[in-house]
Amino acid sequence: MLRSVIVSPDTELTTRLEDLISRAGRAALIKTTDRYLANHDLERFMRANAPQLVFLSIQQLNRAMELYHAIEHIIPGVQVIAIDRGCSPNVLLDLMHIGIREFLAFPFDATSFAAAIGRVEEVLDKRPARIDICDNVFCFLPSKAGAGTSTISMNTAVSLSRMPNTKTLLMDLDLNSGLIGFMLRLDSSYTIYEAAESATKLDEHLWPQLVNSVRNLDVLPAGRLDPQSRVDSLQIRQLIGFARRFYKAICVDLSGNMEKYSLEVMHESKRIFLVCTPEIPTLHLARQKLRLIQDLDLGDRVAVLLNRAQKRPMITTAQIEELLGIPVAQEFPNDYRGVHEAVTHGREVQDNSELGRGFTELAYKLMEAPESFKPKLQRKRFLELFNVFPRYSWSAEK
């Protein structure tokens, strides 16, 4: 059935149309609104409900025509059926001129409705409605607890959110010891648990209540430690599917316990960052997790981030690469003082520090930003990332 919404200030018209849609069974009514929405509200309404078909009241003709152009811009290919209590031939011509080919007049009848739906289905078969979906989902997986994965995921998310037109979401899925909320000093009763419980009824009104906003970054913290609470793979898939309509980048901090929902996130991700430190136990666990990821046919998405890298290491980067069998994509220096000060003040690492510059550099690489947009950074040693991801030709950094 076609996903549909109704935009109509005429409540009686809406009620009659809802009844007809329910009886006809040709379309699934997702949401209704009793007003002509302003641009920002309209975009949120359309992205949250992702309709294929919009029933649009032309009670206020000029406003309705403006909305039609905005709707087509938000979701190219979406079909619109105009509705009203009557319509003159001149108005019909005006509607056809802007691209609206279907009109239903009150009182509605099942025959006309079925014919209009059939024509809309034919158009959608040839040209499906398209809504922009973010594919920039990045998950951060610790090889071992204490590897600094939350620090890397949080600071990378903040760096992404600072980029132009890059609204970013950070999800903390470490349900055993998630630290994102603590690190950012978030004070909210809503967590990933509430979001998961609401996964099937998310809309443009509920979502802003669930997330915590830190400037241009939205956060879903792990929240309370509750052994009785659970999230499942379907809920997480629905959460990410909804979020993809609103954000340019999504970062997910995982626990490393390889839960089913964590595997679901990895399948949804564009990049899987395995975070390790230059220590033998950590590298041993990293190799085990890397093998599991490769067994899941996700090996081409995984990259290694080496945290707390030292200038005179006991285990060199070359030895780590030989042990794991893939290159280290990026190294982050050990900056205990900088991280300690950031956590103490509930903020990200200073972006002008060596560690902060590393997070910014990673963020710009993830979004494949043009050279002209990249900040002037003091560059550290980076390996050629397209060796890790052969489908993407990222430039080498020395």
Structure tokens at 86: 């009557």
| Region 345-354 average pLDDT | 94
The predicted structure's pLDDT at residue 133: 83
Of the pLDDT bands very low, low, confident and very high (cuts 50, 70, 90), residue 394 is very low
Residues of the chain with CATH 3.40.50.300: 137-387
Q: Quick one: pLDDT at residue 370?
A: 61
pLDDT at 245 over 70: yes
Q: What is the mean pLDDT of residues 100-113?
A: 94
With CA atoms as reference, report the closest residue to 397 among 386, 378, 383, 387.
383
Instruction: Give 204 or 10, the one with higher predicted confidence.
Output: 10
Residue 50: burial class (beta carbons within 10 Å; 0-12, 13-18, 19+): middle
Q: Output the CA angle 236-47-14, nearest 5 degrees.
A: 115
User: Is there a contact between 394 and 384 (Cβ–Cβ < 8 Å)?
Assistant: yes
CATH code of 2-126, in short, is 3.40.50.2300
The CA-atom distances, in angstroms, between 299 and each of 63, 316, 328, 383 are 51, 23, 14, 18
> Which residue ranges does the chain devote to CATH 3.40.50.2300?
2-126
**Which residues contact residue 59 at a Cβ distance below 8 angstroms, ignoring those fewer than 6 apart?**
8, 9, 10, 84
CA-closest candidate to residue 340, choices 149, 199, 204, 183: 183
What would you measure as the largest C-alpha separation in the chain, in angstroms?
83
Q: What is the mean pLDDT of residues 302-318?
A: 92
Distance CA 129, CA 117 (A): 15
The percent of residues above 90 in pLDDT, for the chain, comes to 77
Which of these ranges, 92-101, 322-331, 369-378, has the smallest mean pLDDT?
A: 369-378
pLDDT score of 375: 56
Q: Which CATH superfamily is domain 137-387 in?
A: P-loop containing nucleotide triphosphate hydrolases (3.40.50.300)
Write the pLDDT tens digit of every residue in 54-80.
Answer: 999 999 999 999 999 999 999 999 999
What token pair was written down for 52? 């294929």
